[in-house]
Structure formats: C-alpha cells, structure tokens
Structure 1
Amino acid sequence: MDKSDNKTIEGLLKHVSVRSFTDEQLDDETVKQLVTAAQSASTTSFQQSYSIIDVVDENIREKVTQAARNQRFMNQGGRLFVFCADLSRNNEMAKKLNLDVSQTIEGVDATLAGTIDATLAAQNMVIAAESMGLGVCFIGGVRDNIQVVSDLLNIPEHVFPVYGLVIGHPKGKLNDIKPRLPFEAVYHQNKYDAKIDVVESYDKQTNNYYNKRYGRQTDRSWAKTAVNSLIKLPRSFMKKYLNSHHLSEH
C-alpha cells in the first residue's frame, strides 16, 4: 500500500476547528452513524465509562451555550453533543451483582478512566464527522459553569461533563490549518527531552500564522495563547464539583 495515499491520514492532517455553521440540521441517520462510530473506540477494560448527551431542545441548548461563555456558534445549525465521563452505569451494575466498587468509583484513576473513555469516543466521532464533510469544534467551556450545565442536563452522581462537541455543516471559508508543534518537540526516544529551542522556534512560526489569519501584525502566538488559557481558566472549582459528585475523593 502506498503510505503517501492514505485517505484516513490525509483527513486527519486537514483538521481545523469550525466556528461558523449553516442552519442545516443533521438528520437522525447521520447522528446514529456518528454515535455508532464513537462507540467503536477503545475503552478502559471495556468499561465504556462515558455517555453522550445530544442537546436537541432549543431552550436547553441556548442555556448551555450561555453557560459555556456564550459562544454563539454553539447554538447554530448542526448538533451540540456533550460528552460525559459516566461511572454511574457501572456502579449500578455492581450493585446488582452485590459488589461494592464505591472506593474505586470515587478514586482519581476511575475519574481519569471515564475522561479518557469519553475522549476516545469523541475523537472517533470527530474523525467520522470530518470524513462526511462536516465541521467540528470541541467546547471545553461547558466546564466553566459545570454545575449549571449538569443541572440543565440532569446529570447524576458519578457522572460529569468533560466537554461539548459541535458538529454541523461549515459556513464560509475554513481557516488555514494551524501549524502543530514540530515532530521533534513531541517525539522522545527512551527519555524525556524538553527541546525548548525547538519550541521557541515554533512559537515564532505560530505568530506568523496568526498574522496571516488576521491580516495584520499581532502579538499572538502558540505560547501566549496556551499560557493565557491556563491563567484565565484555572477552573479551581472542579475538585469541589467532582467531590460533590462522589468522584476523585481518594
């Protein structure tokens, strides 16, 4: 097989976040295909510790949008899916088997496992959606007001929203593909090597990308964008929220 002509890899390398959608909706068959593709992802010990909430009620979708920093494209066409780490289902099944898994369910590793399962499923859905010519955008903002979102979506104990995912038909010209960190910056052999000089060179490259994207000179770069997000979005309330849902207590 000619590795240079791999349609799957070609599609992955063309990924961009889309924040402008037409009013066209996704039909139920497309949604079923997307969810089925998501379910085909690997899961932790076959626990399948995740759930996907398709927010189709216009009133609820608007309120979730407002809670997630009011990013208006979230409430345009297409669908808004909220991916949740879901440890509740397995907890209930354990009870039926007369087993107590509460200590595990309430531990950090189970919380990580649920988050990982939700993430793998979401990425599968993204790959499937983009193969259909649809646009996608992850929404970490659902965690900004995570309790509000949880109340709106009737999320029970042992379940929490990880992020939203908007999928729809792109509107207008897509942004150019953002340059990723160089291969050498993320690939390590045998031991970790920070390679700060490579990262600093890449930061200048991303500044050129943003200058071209905005059509003017800017001071934006990868480092400033990444670090500013850490400063602006500490979400220090997450531990309290998770503990209140009987997660990550140990």
Structure 2
Amino acid sequence: MKPTNETLELLNRHVSVRQYLDKPVSDGQLAAIIEAGQMASTSSSVQAYTVIAVTDPALKAKLSALSGNQAYIVQCPVFLVWCADLYRLRESSAPHLQGAESYEDTTENLIVATVDVALAAQNAAVAAESLGLGIVYIGGIRNHIAEVSGLLGLPELVYPVFGMCLGYPAGASGLRPRLPLEAVLHHNSYQAETTVEQVKVYDEITRDYMRERTGGQKDTPWSEMMAGRLAKPDRLHMKEFLLQKGFMQQ
C-alpha cells in the first residue's frame, strides 16, 4: 500500500492555473513563497538564480506579447521570471581570485544554474499551492528571449529560463494524467523496452482524457502530440543567445 499524507496529497493535486481572480498576492505571501524556493537543493550552495517579480501592468502586457500573447500573464497579480544567474557568482568571486582564471562560463555551470532555477521554482510552486494560490509555468518567455532579457535589464551571464504566473485560481482545473510509473521508474538499469511499451498504455489513457476534455472532438494520443512537437523547429535562437550572453564558452 502506498503511503499518503498532507504533503503527498497536495503534490498530487497539482494543476496548471490559467485563470486568476482579481485578488492581490501580499508581499508576505510572496516573500514566504520565494524563501521556500530558496530552501531547495542547490549545487555546492551556488544558488545560481534570481527571481524577478513583475506586478506592473504595462510590463506584464509587454511580456505577454513577447510570450505568445498568453492572457493569463496579464491577468495574474504577480508574474515571476525565473532566471539562471552566474553574473552574481562571477562578480562576488572575482575579488578572491586575485587574477586567477575563472570558469563561470562553462557549459557545466550553465547546467548547474538551470537546474538550480528549476529546483527552486518547483519548491516555490508547492509553497504557493499550500497557501491556496495557483501557478502555471510559462516557457513562452523564451520565444523572444533577447527582447525579454533587454526589457528586464538582465546582465551578462543571466538568462530567463521560464516565467510563472502566480495568483488565486478562478475556477477548478482538471488533473492531467501522467505517464505510468513503470515508464518513469526503472530499477538498477534503464529499461528501454519497458519505457516504450508503457507509452502504448499511456496513449490509451490520453485518448480518453482528450475525448473527455474536448467533448469527443479530439482523441489525440500522447505519442502523436509529442511527434508534432519534435517535428517543429522550436526556439532555434537559444544557442546563439546563450553564447552571446557569455554562457557555454568552455
């Protein structure tokens, strides 16, 4: 029998929220949420991330336009932009290096910073949901990442990884089914045949989910949706942008 408790129940109720009430998030709530994010694991304590809380309506509107005109960016009371940040690491370490070569611009450190952002953001998401708030991640800020970076004044070695709408949900959203556990949890080695076979199981689950969600108008399985995603050359500007920002030099 699988164990259960209040934390597990909260995690298993997670849904993306795309409609928000016209109700503010208090400074105290925001501080508690970000502080919870800060307690996530971080590689070697580098804490290589910065969060920009955007509440100005005009700025949110500009970010929405750059992110594919997603209306919930404008509607939510707080839009968080989660940034991988190696600038702070470089600048604060420089006085101690006394001219020695520094390797903040390696591909490994880009990975470290990006993982740090994701871990902190998910901690923050759980904290927000524990307070009755809702979130949705916004990868669309990478559609025009140079413009977003300029708009937010991001220096060298800082890039916006994703956004996060934050606010009180307006109405309930349905749970979206995930891959079967057997597709994700492998014991002692990678089970290549099992993980592909389990997708067939998941395809039937997602067909049923899509039929219910669309009133029978669609029954597209997960594997077909993913094929459509892979067939689309998406955000091919990212590599050049990251190189220009000083990342992946070594």
Aligned to 2:142: 143
Q: Deviations over 1:52-90 (max 9, x none)?
A: 000122111111111011111111032100000000001
Matched ranges for 1:21-170 at <5 A: 21-99=20-98, 104-170=103-169
Q: CA deviation at 1:134?
A: 1.0
| 1:183 is the counterpart of 2:194 | no
Give 3-state SS (helix, strand or coil) of 1:218's partner.
coil
Runs of 4 or more off by more than 4 Å in structure 1?
A: 99-103
Q: Which deviates more, 210-219 or 59-68?
A: 210-219
Tell whether 2:49 aligns with 1:11: no
What is the match of residue 237 of structure 1?
237
Q: Structure 2 CA distance, aligned partners of 1:13 and 1:239?
A: 35
Corresponding position of 1:215: 215
Unmatched runs of 5 consecutive residues or more in structure 2: none
Return 5+ residue gaps in structure 1 as ranges: none
Contact 1:94 / 1:100 at 8 angstroms: preserved in 2?
Answer: no
Q: Deviations over 1:159-196 (max 9, x none)?
A: 0000001111111232x211111111011112111221
The total of aligned residue pairs comes to 248
2-side partners of 1:36 and 1:79: how far apart? 16
2:219 & 2:99 partners in 1: Cα distance?
A: 54
Rounded Cα–Cα distance in structure 2 between residues aligned with 1:26 and 1:169? 8
Q: Does the 8 A contact of 2:138 with 2:163 survive in 1?
A: yes
Q: Which residue identity does 1:248 align to in structure 2?
A: M
Note if contact 1:94-1:101 (Cα within 8 Å) is conserved in structure 2. Answer: no
Give the Cα separation in 1 of the matches to 2:101 and 2:229: 34
SS in 1 for 2:103: helix
Identity among equivalent pairs (%): 38
Shift of 1:23: 1.2
Contact persistence 1:54–1:79 (CA under 8 A): yes
1:135 offset after TM fit, Å? 1.1
Find the residue that maps to 1:232 and give its secondary structure.
coil
Q: Secondary structure at the match of 1:136?
A: strand
Contact 1:21 1:169 in 2 (8 A): yes
In structure 2, do the counterparts of structure 1 residues 51 and 68 end up closer, same or farther at CA, with 3 Å as the change threshold?
A: same
Distance 1:100 1:210 in 2: 59
Deviation at 1:233, TM superposition (A): 5.3
Partners of 1:75 and 1:233 in 2: CA distance = 27
1:178 is aligned with what amino acid? Answer: R
